[in-house]
Structure 1
Amino acid sequence: MTESTDNYLDTHRGGLQTTPEGQELYQRVQRAMDDVQEACAHAAQARAPRGLVRVSAQSDVGRDWLIPRVASFAREYPQVELELSLSDRVVDLLAERFDVAIRVGEVDDGRLTRRSIGRFRNCICAAPSYLRARCTPRTTEGLAGHVVLSYLRGNRQEAWDPATKRWVMIRAPYAADSNAALRQLALDGLGIARLPELTVLEDLQRGALTRLPLERLEDEGAPISLVFPQGKQLSARVRAFVDFFAGEARRSLPQSRARSR
């Protein structure tokens, strides 16, 4: 044992005991380690994304997909604040000072960067109670005599014609101007509805609604994209939002069939 070690250790009843000098050294080292850990924690906290992110989202995607995942985002990024505007109106991100938008359809604004995250598809469905009371239509001709829930646009009632893949004017006993309302009417067994998969996915999975074999959905559906101003370096908080929800989309949104092949 060296002389320097002897300064910090002493024998005591056949064992080793720290000397007062050794205890002082240990306390100094421990304080230094505590200071390093505290400095690392402060540095990590300083790098953590923080601040406000203003988000615009198409109403169905916002209500049925974005909102249910905000709590998970908040747990991962507790210092990021969100302002969420859900509307089918296409906002001007630059003029209205939004940081990012979730849009359905093509994006042709050259000022914006687009990051595709999935596809927006629809399905024709009805409640099992409705189908038990009537036969299940298996062709477009089979829809004759069925109650088709219509979408209300102003004073016009419209329904999707799976034969022509167009919206047509009809007169139906039940109509509504939101997919959330049409979903509830369908769940209550009042008729057949064409609704976004995002809106009724859980209903289909638990058997509350049944998908009808009227539309093979051979098309890809409309793209769902995260868009943000082009040519501008994203702040840490906006990058955190974009990356988090892009990751969520890969696990939960319908993807391009061409990509999955």
Structure 2
Amino acid sequence: MDSWSDLQAFVHSVRAGSFSAAAREAGTTPSAFSKRVAKLEEQLNTRLAVRGARGLVLTPEGQEFYQRIQRALDDVEEACVQASRSHEPRGLVRVSAQLDLGRDWLLPRISSFARVHPQVHLEVSLSDKMVDLMSERFDVALRVGVSEDKRLTRRNIGRFRHILCASPAYLRERGTPRSVEELAGHVRLCYLRGNLHEDWVLPSGKRLVARGPYAADGNEALRQLALQGLGVARLPEFTVDGDVRRGTLTPLLREETREEGLPIGLVFPQGRQLASRVRAFVDFFAHEARRSLPQPA
């Protein structure tokens, strides 16, 4: 079956999301991609994809075929890059990241990555939903916690820890707590999970019941409340790192409330050599993490 260009057209169309998007990237017409995919379906005697309201939708047979063939094409493209004179990583890397970690740590460093690897293009999806890298076609994910998916390789790059902090204005008005016990007299900005205020559980095991008139269902919202001087917040270190350096938030009781924290890792499909573009992403952000994320003791 002489279908190399048809296979490429199918994979590029799925990655782009539609024949029109793939055609724009390739500088050709949507009908050219559509005809190649139709030819491939005829050769395989099976329907691979249908046009939906939001672009191409893979059939079950198409999904299985795509997962197999895109890896093979990636390997071929990588082999061509390695055999060429230029070893500059290039191409698209699709990244999934948990919301707070992606917004507060990953995205501020994308411009630095772009300067080092201008030929690598990124698509970043931020969500606290645990995506399936293979079925949702992501190359790499930035995750907090331990992964039990045996299909994935994990590279731990740091620790996820919380710190207590408040604005200088709040501390001038209410005083600075010198012990965990003194926190009882302070306004505690509470994380709202559903319709419940989440208590603070400190490394010692001590539980501080939610107390105060302000709560929010996201860390960025809690950060804004803290910056306005409305109370003490318990937030991820990477979320308030810039505020602490600027002096707009002051860390509190660091020694008494220091956590071991959960591992932060870059995960990617195992079982084959990483494409140079994905390796470039993993290596760059692992290096960044050593300078900017808490590391294991």
Q: How high is the TM-score relative to the length of structure 2?
A: 0.68
User: In structure 2, which of residues 176, 199, 218 is the aligned counterpart of residue 136 of structure 1?
Assistant: 176
Return the index of the structure with the highest Cα Rg.
1
C-alpha distance in 2 between matches for 1:171 and 1:217? 18
User: Is it true that 1:179 corresponds to 2:214 in the alignment?
Assistant: no
Report the equivalent of 1:79: 119
Q: Map 1:47-62 to 2 at 5 A.
A: 47-62=87-102
Which structure 2 segments of 5+ residues have no match? 1-83
Report the equivalent of 1:114: 154
Letter in 1 for 2:112: S
User: In structure 2, which of residues 228, 238, 249 is the aligned counterpart of residue 198 of structure 1?
Assistant: 238
User: Is it true that 1:148 corresponds to 2:163 in the alignment?
Assistant: no
Higher RCO (C-alpha under 8 Å, 6+ residues apart): 1
Q: How many residues align?
A: 214
Letter in 1 for 2:289: A
Q: How high is the TM-score relative to the length of structure 1?
A: 0.76
C-alpha distance in 2 between matches for 1:151 and 1:188? 16
Letter in 2 for 1:226: L
Letter in 2 for 1:162: L
Report the equivalent of 1:221: 261
C-alpha distance in 2 between matches for 1:182 and 1:156? 15
Q: Deviations over 1:113-150 (max 9, x none)?
A: 01011111110011111011112222232122311101
User: Is it true that 1:88 corresponds to 2:128 in the alignment?
Assistant: yes
User: Is it true that 1:160 corresponds to 2:212 in the alignment?
Assistant: no
Q: Map 1:234-249 to 2 at 5 A.
A: 234-249=274-289
CA shift, 1:52, in A, is: 1.1
C-alpha distance in 2 between matches for 1:194 and 1:219? 12
CA shift, 1:158, in A, is: 1.4
Check whether the contact 1:116–1:226 (CA below 8 A) recurs between aligned residues.
Answer: yes
SS in 1 for 2:256: coil
When residues 150 and 219 of structure 1 are mapped into structure 2, their CA distance, relative to the original with a 3 A threshold, is closer
C-alpha distance in 2 between matches for 1:167 and 1:234? 44
SS in 1 for 2:200: strand
When residues 167 and 151 of structure 1 are mapped into structure 2, their CA distance, relative to the original with a 3 A threshold, is farther
User: In structure 2, which of residues 241, 249, 258 is the aligned counterpart of residue 209 of structure 1?
Assistant: 249
Letter in 1 for 2:296: S
Q: Deviations over 1:17-76 (max 9, x none)?
A: xxxxxxxxxxxxxxxxxxxxxxxxxx544x322111110111121111110111111112
User: In structure 1, which of residues 232, 239, 242 is the aligned counterpart of residue 272 of structure 2?
Assistant: 232
Runs of 4+ in structure 1 deviating by more than 6 angstroms, as ranges, are none
C-alpha distance in 1 between matches for 2:144 and 2:192? 20
Higher deviation after alignment, 238-247 or 163-172: 163-172
Using the aligned pairs only, state the percent identity. 65
C-alpha distance in 1 between matches for 2:122 and 2:114? 9
- RMSD after superposition: 1.9
C-alpha distance in 1 between matches for 2:262 and 2:203? 19
SS in 1 for 2:266: strand
CA shift, 1:161, in A, is: 3.5
C-alpha distance in 1 between matches for 2:203 and 2:283? 39
C-alpha distance in 1 between matches for 2:104 and 2:157? 15
Return the structure number with greater helix share: 2
SS in 1 for 2:101: helix
Letter in 2 for 1:110: K
